[in-house]
Structure 1
Amino acid sequence: MNNENLIATATAFAHQRGEVREIAAIDLGSNSFHMIVARIINGSIQVLSRLKQKVQLAEGLDENNVLSQEAITRGVNCLALFAERLQGFNPENVNVVGTYTLRRAVNNAEFLRQAQQVFPYPINIISGQTEAKTIYAGVSHTQPETGRKLVVDIGGGSTEMIIGDGFIPLAAESRHMGCVSFAKKFFPQGKISPENFQRAKQNALNKIDDLAFEFNKLGWQSVLGSSGTIKTVYQVISANTDPNGIITPQRLNELTEIVLRADHFDNLRLAGLNEDRTDVFVPGLAILSAVFENFSIKEMRYSDGALREGVMYGLEKNFQVTDIRQRTALGLAEQFNLDTAQSERVFHSAQLLCRQIEHWENAKYADEMKDILFWAARLHEVGIVINHRGLQKHSAYILQNIELPGFDKEQQRLLATLVRYQINSFKSGDLAKFARYTESDVLTLVRLLRLAVMLNKSRQATELTDKILLKTDRTSVSWQLEFAPEYLSHNPLVKNELLAERYLLQGLNLDLTF
């Protein structure tokens, strides 16, 4: 985590922000067209709307790479719908990219001609490598993972594979294999069979086997997957196996065995499988299985960021920062007019106390949980913009429902939970249940934030100190605070808050002495 002083950073950040600017990013994919409309405000992107329409351009591409008039019409009709939403937008604030099917179509000029009649914005048909790099940018700008990453995106007509460090792609490849094109080629009339699946998987392996050496030589610390196929696999795993939706080779094999029991796309029945994905799910699964096998991937997480997010962030050059969460926090600080001095005081206290916690039930996620605690300390007052009464409820609602680049869904839920119970009474049963974090660890984080808030109740009158000792037992039930001599006598408000907290915790079978 970047522990720079938020006050200094926010001050510098404030000088950089300009006027509110509305932007739109459109991805003309082989399966669906996507549009994001957002505004740049206080140096951060605030998504206003997302539109998606299934167009299936790739289905209209014949063996001679001629795009049928029916497919062109479907695409143009969708663009006419998008144009309605974009009325009044300056062309420089709209970025439209065409991908695999449009770059393969020999008559793409005819598509552009017809589109121009209803859609008054330029369409840029990008190369496979540019598409891959833009996908990587979308993932890098929205996900919390740092270090070297392998990013995989399975689209309707092509699959992109990228290894990068930070925001810099080191190797970017695009191959002609997608869920729509493979459905057409290997699963005619939607028929499913083990033979069809194996042919599709082997074809995908043949297309990417030359990449294994270079990619494995570069190496990676984490693997992220984006777009429809991987999102659907993530949703199915979340609904049936693992609430975190982590994709592993074993889970892919289990999923393959299940889908091969059906003989047709129309007969697929899986929790988490949306109806509009049934006709491309099995071919996409074959491609993903090949990617896992070729690169010996152990696990993959789903990323909300993809091509359209990369296109969107490309419209503003000031977003490339080393810490996505810091950019998000600074944007919220500006948007909700946070008292950054108070945020820093609470952060300082949370950090001081947290360093003294020696036992975490799930040590694997200790650093991640601490990081979320520190951001909760800095953002705990965002709800004050609504009303100081019920501050904790307003803050939790905002943090649970706002776009938070740099935080995945489970981290966002934890952030909102900590902020929700920063003050006032609560019961242990009130705390949200998490797939990744244990109840004991979440309760520890809640107690730490509550203490940090209490210690700074007087705001600017707070007497700062680094001489607070926190002793806990291995069960984290009994906590003992030791202050510098005369500290509590000089801070009667803190003492009263601690007495009230001790009484509250007794009802939860927890102990606090000081």
Structure 2
Amino acid sequence: MNKKMQFEQDTLSHLRTNVREIAAIDLGSNSFHMIVARIMNGSIQVLSRLKQKVKLAEGLDENAVLSQEAITRGVNCLALFAERLQGFTAENVNVVGTYTLRRAVNNDEFLRQAAEVFPYPINIISGQTEAKTIYAGVCHTQPEKGRKLVVDIGGGSTEMIVGDDFTPIVAESRHMGCVSFASKYFKDGKISQENFESAYQSAVNKIEDLGWEYRNLGWQSVLGSSGTIKTVHQVIAATLDPNGIITKARLEDLIEQTLRVDHFESLNMIGLNPARVDVFVPGLAILRAVFDVFHIEQMRYSDGALREGMIYSLEKNFQVADIRARTAWGLTEQFDIDTEQAHRTAGSANLLAHQYTQWGKPTLAEEMKNVLLWAARLYEVGIVINHKGMQKHSAYILQNMELPGFDREQQRLLALLVRLHIGTLRITDLTQFARYDEQDVLVLIRLLRLAVILNKSRQATEKPQKITLKTNRTSTDWSLAFEQGYLDRNPLIWNELRQESQGLKELGVGLVFN
């Protein structure tokens, strides 16, 4: 283990002794959101989420004066949040106001009325601070490493950030949001080619000066966050691609469908929440402008954004290089996983996986092998419930917990591998994935099952000096070769391999060993 990894593990180990409940509240232009979470075992555990649509931006007039009606809606929502926060100290509550409160010339009146029902300080942050906090939220929750472009389309503003790992390089916030654009370009919910193009061109005008600088910096991945991009992702996932990847062609397809109707109330798409139609249409215009100005090829949705960035900012020690490692360490502590056994099993899985080369999707090989290693480290997480049926308990935990650092397909794959690491394996057990090849998934399952078998004796396990894995041309038949005398000295492993070989015959695949 290198010094950096050791430092991060020591840091997270220290955190497990400090249980702390925290809250983050985002006073957005469209909705107010609150997350209540607990810092425990070196990880963030979300306890509750509250959201209320207040449409603050609708109350901002041409002179940037916030109406009393809008103030009242916001204050009433904060009174509700205050009920949930009883007993919280001020240092554990982070509240920020964004675009609308930033712009309102009478925001002091909002703060005065809010103070009567809400006993926590409200910090109205700058656009650049908002952008950097959004970037932190994405980085702390998503698996992508290296340079990335992050885009967040909110109710009143859009943030665009390019950064390396946790460090933003450029961060900008521009005054264009789905609520403000809805009232300006889609009055009374009317849709037309003309008003859509007006909204699109306005968005282009607001960000085209950023285009060259951002494109010159470049990126390896593009992530989008918050409501508009989430909604576009959900519609694409329901109609075009289960992964919900946003591409230029898919975006144009949604725009074409949108322009077939003449009013918000007439727009009916699978995956589109009717309550979000009023912000979906102007959001499409803004998103199209972002794609065009920055020459984006594809974008993945991130469920981490401003609120997550606020939460993680309360505990600086969470900034580790590998988000998955932090997540796994938290699970290890929370569920008291045998770390030595996890290390042994992961070592065996790694040894075997590096000898397998016949991947159906070679470009995903490293990603799949990484998920395999995390499955090898976490397959016993369900033992805390019951050893009987442990694989089902483990899979349920991993499928239903929030796992920062794993996207949804990776989380589904992780849970499947853990569920099938032991017991009878049937072809009907294999789940369909949008991203992964079915045969590759079967390969991962077989590799994990072998790694578990090789370490059944736990601390009494004899680590073989060499294992050779060979496969036939179709990769269905595998051959394992151990050093001389190893299987004679380990009859339990020999018997487990024999049973595995018998069971695999029903799948039409073979396993021989010597």
TM-score (norm 2): 0.98
Q: Distance in 1 between matches of 2:360 and 2:250?
A: 26
Structure 1 residue 429, shift from structure 2 partner: 1.3
Q: Distance in 2 between matches of 1:206 and 1:346?
A: 55
Residue matched to 2:104: 105
Residue matched to 1:483: 482
SS at match of 1:300: strand
SS at match of 1:388: coil
> What aligned pairs does 1:43-442 form with structure 2 within 5 A after superposition?
43-442=42-441
Unpaired runs of 5+ residues, structure 2, are none
Measured at CA, do residues 61 and 285 of structure 1 come closer, stay the same or move farther in structure 2, by a change above 3 Å? same
Measured at CA, do residues 47 and 218 of structure 1 come closer, stay the same or move farther in structure 2, by a change above 3 Å? same
Measured at CA, do residues 439 and 3 of structure 1 come closer, stay the same or move farther in structure 2, by a change above 3 Å? farther
Question: Per-residue displacement from partner, 1:105-141 (whole Å, max 9, x unpaired)?
Answer: 0110111111111111000000000000000000000
- Given that residues 224 and 300 in structure 2 are in contact (C-alpha distance below 8 angstroms), is that contact kept between their aligned partners in structure 1? yes
Question: Per-residue displacement from partner, 1:426-476 (whole Å, max 9, x unpaired)?
Answer: 211112111000110000000000000000000000001241001012322
Structure 1 residue 494, shift from structure 2 partner: 0.3
Measured at CA, do residues 64 and 74 of structure 1 come closer, stay the same or move farther in structure 2, by a change above 3 Å? same
Q: Distance in 2 between matches of 1:162 and 1:10?
A: 29
Letter in 2 for 1:305: G
Structure 1 residue 4, shift from structure 2 partner: 9.3
Unpaired runs of 5+ residues, structure 1, are none
Q: Distance in 2 between matches of 1:80 and 1:212?
A: 42
Q: Distance in 2 between matches of 1:325 and 1:225?
A: 20
Query: How many residues are paired up?
Result: 513
Structure 1 residue 16, shift from structure 2 partner: 4.3
- Given that residues 150 and 162 in structure 1 are in contact (C-alpha distance below 8 angstroms), is that contact kept between their aligned partners in structure 2? yes
Q: Distance in 2 between matches of 1:5 and 1:504?
A: 43
Give me the identity figure in percent: 71
SS at match of 1:161: strand
Structure 1 residue 11, shift from structure 2 partner: 6.1
- Given that residues 12 and 317 in structure 2 are in contact (C-alpha distance below 8 angstroms), is that contact kept between their aligned partners in structure 1? no
Residue matched to 1:467: 466
- Given that residues 5 and 344 in structure 1 are in contact (C-alpha distance below 8 angstroms), is that contact kept between their aligned partners in structure 2? no
- Given that residues 7 and 344 in structure 1 are in contact (C-alpha distance below 8 angstroms), is that contact kept between their aligned partners in structure 2? no
Measured at CA, do residues 469 and 5 of structure 1 come closer, stay the same or move farther in structure 2, by a change above 3 Å? farther
SS at match of 1:119: coil
Structure 1 residue 207, shift from structure 2 partner: 0.3
Q: Distance in 2 between matches of 1:19 and 1:11?
A: 14
Structure 1 residue 154, shift from structure 2 partner: 0.2
- Given that residues 16 and 333 in structure 2 are in contact (C-alpha distance below 8 angstroms), is that contact kept between their aligned partners in structure 1? no
Letter in 1 for 2:61: D
- Given that residues 7 and 341 in structure 1 are in contact (C-alpha distance below 8 angstroms), is that contact kept between their aligned partners in structure 2? no
Letter in 2 for 1:175: R
Question: Per-residue displacement from partner, 1:313-346 (whole Å, max 9, x unpaired)?
Answer: 0111110001000010111111111100000000
Letter in 2 for 1:261: R
**RMSD over aligned Cα atoms:** 1.4
SS at match of 1:95: strand
Question: Per-residue displacement from partner, 1:194-249 (whole Å, max 9, x unpaired)?
Answer: 00000000000000000011111111110000000000000000001011111111
Letter in 2 for 1:185: K
Question: Per-residue displacement from partner, 1:40-59 (whole Å, max 9, x unpaired)?
Answer: 00111111111111111001
Structure 1 residue 17, shift from structure 2 partner: 3.2
TM-score (norm 1): 0.98
SS at match of 1:46: strand
- Given that residues 469 and 479 in structure 2 are in contact (C-alpha distance below 8 angstroms), is that contact kept between their aligned partners in structure 1? yes
Structure 1 residue 491, shift from structure 2 partner: 0.5
